[in-house]
Amino acid sequence: MTNRPDGRKADELRKMHAKVGVIKRADGSALFQIGDTIAIAAVYGPRELHPRFLQNPEKAVLRCHYDMASFSVTERKKPGPSRRSVEISLVTQKALGSVVDLKLFPNTVIDVFIQIIQANAGTRCAGITAAAMALAHAGVSMKEMVAAISVGKIGDKVVLDLTKEEEDFESGASDIPVAITSYDKSVTLLQLDGEVTRKELSEALKLALKGCNEIFKIQEKVLKEVYTQQPFLEKSGVSQKQPLAASGGKK
């Protein structure tokens, strides 16, 4: 199939760019761009959780905060939390929670702030992908990585990584954000906006796996670069003589 507005094939991702160490004051941070969608994630912690009654003596509390900047979309978005941002923060926490070794850090909190600075569909997926990189960059112990991508149906065709223009397709589109872990290939996020048949869903999941496998390669490349080029203390901002960022990208 061609006929996608930007000329991509059905199983083709938008151009990607990733970078870690974008926010020096954070314990870990990352930027992930896919097409015109740009997400920045910053991780603070693990640190002691206050007030204390919120602490869990058996494991860390993972808190995710998703927000879309007012200027990220063409028509200014009303600032502040919304039902949508609360929902996305929650599904992000669920998508990442199973891979983080929370039992290693009892009584602590790990805060993950995700800011969408430019939106053109797939923002929750870009946010999850950036957040997983930021957690790894912070040195938080993780069993595996997580990447996320949206798949969907435009007309009767299943395609990977929809743009906003495709999501708004006049005769209807279905959007399926999916997050997958790098080793077990477990699905940690699966949402559906629209209608698909069982066969289409299975086709969509295969496409999502293909997309996530491409994203894992970029995540790994960028994280390996920063850890092999710089000792841990420099990465964490103790010495700031060298640039902190490494970057990688598809194509």
Which residue in the set 33, 89, 123, 230 belongs to the binding site for ligand ADP (CB under 6 A)?
123
Crossing angle of helices 198-229 and 123-137, rounded to 10°: 30
Number of residues forming the site for ligand ADP (CB under 6 A): 16
Residues 170-189 that bind ligand ADP (CB under 6 A): 175, 177
N residues, the chain: 251
Which residue in the set 13, 16, 30, 119 belongs to the binding site for ligand ADP (CB under 6 A)?
119
Output the smallest distance, CB 123 to ligand ADP, in A. Answer: 3
Dist CA 116 CA 8 (whole Å): 24
- The answer to whether 150 and 162 are in contact (CB under 8 A) is yes
Output the smallest distance, CB 192 to ligand ADP, in A. Answer: 11
For the record, the structure tokens of 194 come out as 């629209």
> Which range touches ligand ADP (CB under 6 A), out of 46-54, 116-124, 178-186, 199-207?
116-124
For the record, the structure tokens of 62 come out as 């993972």
> Which range touches ligand ADP (CB under 6 A), out of 49-57, 91-99, 121-129, 228-236?
121-129
Instruction: Report if residue 210 touches ligand ADP, rule: CB under 6 A.
Output: no
In the bound state with ligand ADP, the residue whose beta carbon lies nearer, of 51 and 80, is 80
In the bound state with ligand ADP, the residue whose beta carbon lies nearer, of 67 and 175, is 175
In the bound state with ligand ADP, the residue whose beta carbon lies nearer, of 134 and 246, is 134
Instruction: Report if residue 124 touches ligand ADP, rule: CB under 6 A.
Output: yes
Instruction: Report if residue 211 touches ligand ADP, rule: CB under 6 A.
Output: no
String of contacts with ligand ADP for each residue 51-90, x by CB under 6 A: ----------------------x-x-x------x------
> Which range touches ligand ADP (CB under 6 A), out of 3-11, 27-35, 113-121, 226-234?
113-121
Distances (CA, A) of 80 to 63, 65, 70, 77, 199: 17, 11, 9, 9, 39
Task: Report the interface residues with ligand ADP, using CB under 6 A.
Answer: 73, 75, 77, 84, 119-124, 150, 164, 167, 175, 177, 193
